[in-house]
Amino acid sequence: MLADYHIHTELCQHAEGKASAFRARAMDLGMPELCFTDHVPNPDGYDPVNRMRLDQFPLYRTMVADLTRASQPVVLFGVEADYYDGCERFLQDWLPRQEFDLVLGSVHYIDNWGFDNPDERHVWDSVDVTKTWATYFDLIGKLADSRLADSRLADVVGHLDLPKKFGYRPSDRDLREMAQPALDRVAEAGMAIEINSSGLRRPVHEIYPSALLLSLAKERDIPICFGSDAHRPEEVGWQFDASLALARSAGYTHAVQYRRRQPLPYALPTL
Ligand code: ZN
Ligand code: FE
Ligand code: FE
Ligand code: ZN
């Protein structure tokens, strides 16, 4: 069983369940380890309805730390940090002081548009889809280039092709052209990408990233890890058999686990 490195908790205001319930589900599945990656607090006012407040962060830390005593599954402490222009203003002092095992870096907004928010889906009908994706990949490149103190902002790019969520996509040719420079920057930063099975629960019915993007990542030797993006305990490890099959078909033989933000390769199970 693969480790699940993308798990939210009720603290983000749009998930259900305390950390203990997610861990119990992972234990039932025989999962070796899981990492909590709830949405980072952004006291600058960014998207306040989808995250814990800064004064709730100690509660998050304690809720996860309380689960680390038992040996199986191993419980890791992480966060999903949004990348947006200016996010470093808060993160540069705050994030390096936390003792995270893993920082996922994700892009959920283009300007003030939450492009993956079902309530804002209609905006897709009035934008140039290809240009929107190009802007998105520019932001992924900036995420990869971003440094806080001496280290990279994030270790892993979350749901690399999130804009496909509702089925709006560029041509494969345009996708390649815009994704390759971004993936070059991801590789340069030493970041990994996650194989995020939550796309199978969305209108697109497809894992993030697509087989095409994963093959471009493999060409650059970009490491992978696995995430369900669980917002409810029953979503832990969601369709990880499909995620493993996708990784294997792209030619991956290893994934990475993290401790204190350091990657460690491990061999993938056979199908
Ligand atoms: Zn969420
Ligand atoms: Fe996300
Ligand atoms: Fe998430
Ligand atoms: Zn996510």
CATH number (domain holding residue 122) = 3.20.20.140
pLDDT computed for residue 87 by the predictor: 96
Give residue 121's Cα distance to chain centre.
21
C-beta neighbour count of 248 within 10 angstroms: 14
Res 74 pLDDT > 90? yes
Res 26 pLDDT > 90? yes
Q: With contact defined as beta carbons under 8 Å apart, do 92 and 80 qualify?
A: no
**Lookup result for tokens 């907004």:** 109
CA of 38 from ligand 3 middle (Å) equals 7
pLDDT computed for residue 28 by the predictor: 96
Query: pLDDT tens-digit profile of 186-203?
Result: 999 999 999 999 999 999
pLDDT computed for residue 70 by the predictor: 80
**Residue from 69, 76, 77, 74 nearest 95 by CA:** 77
Query: pLDDT tens-digit profile of 101-144?
Result: 999 999 999 999 999 999 999 999 999 999 999 999 999 999 99
CA of 47 from ligand 2 middle (Å) equals 12
CA of 174 from ligand 3 middle (Å) equals 26
Q: How far apart are CA 155 and CA 50, in angstroms?
A: 22
Whole-model pTM: value is: 0.97
- Looking at the CA of 12, which ligand is closest? 1
CA of 174 from ligand 4 middle (Å) equals 24
Q: With contact defined as beta carbons under 8 Å apart, do 224 and 178 qualify?
A: no
CA of 270 from ligand 1 middle (Å) equals 31
pLDDT band at 148 (very low <50, low <70, confident <90, very high): very high
Res 153 pLDDT > 90? yes
Q: Where are the alpha helices (DSSP H) in the chain?
A: 19-28, 57-65, 88-94, 129-145, 172-188, 211-219, 240-249
Res 219 pLDDT > 90? yes
pLDDT computed for residue 271 by the predictor: 78
Res 207 pLDDT > 90? yes
pLDDT computed for residue 19 by the predictor: 96
pLDDT computed for residue 194 by the predictor: 98
Q: How far apart are CA 83 and CA 105, in angstroms?
A: 6
CA of 229 from ligand 1 middle (Å) equals 7
Whether the CA torsion 28, 61, 83, 146 is positive or negative: it is negative
CA of 106 from ligand 2 middle (Å) equals 6
CA of 165 from ligand 4 middle (Å) equals 12
Q: Where in the sequence is the domain holding 12, given as residue range(s)? A: 4-267
Domain count for the chain, please give it: 1
CA of 108 from ligand 2 middle (Å) equals 6
pLDDT computed for residue 164 by the predictor: 98
Cβ neighbours of residue 262 closer than 8 Å, sequence gap 6 or more: none
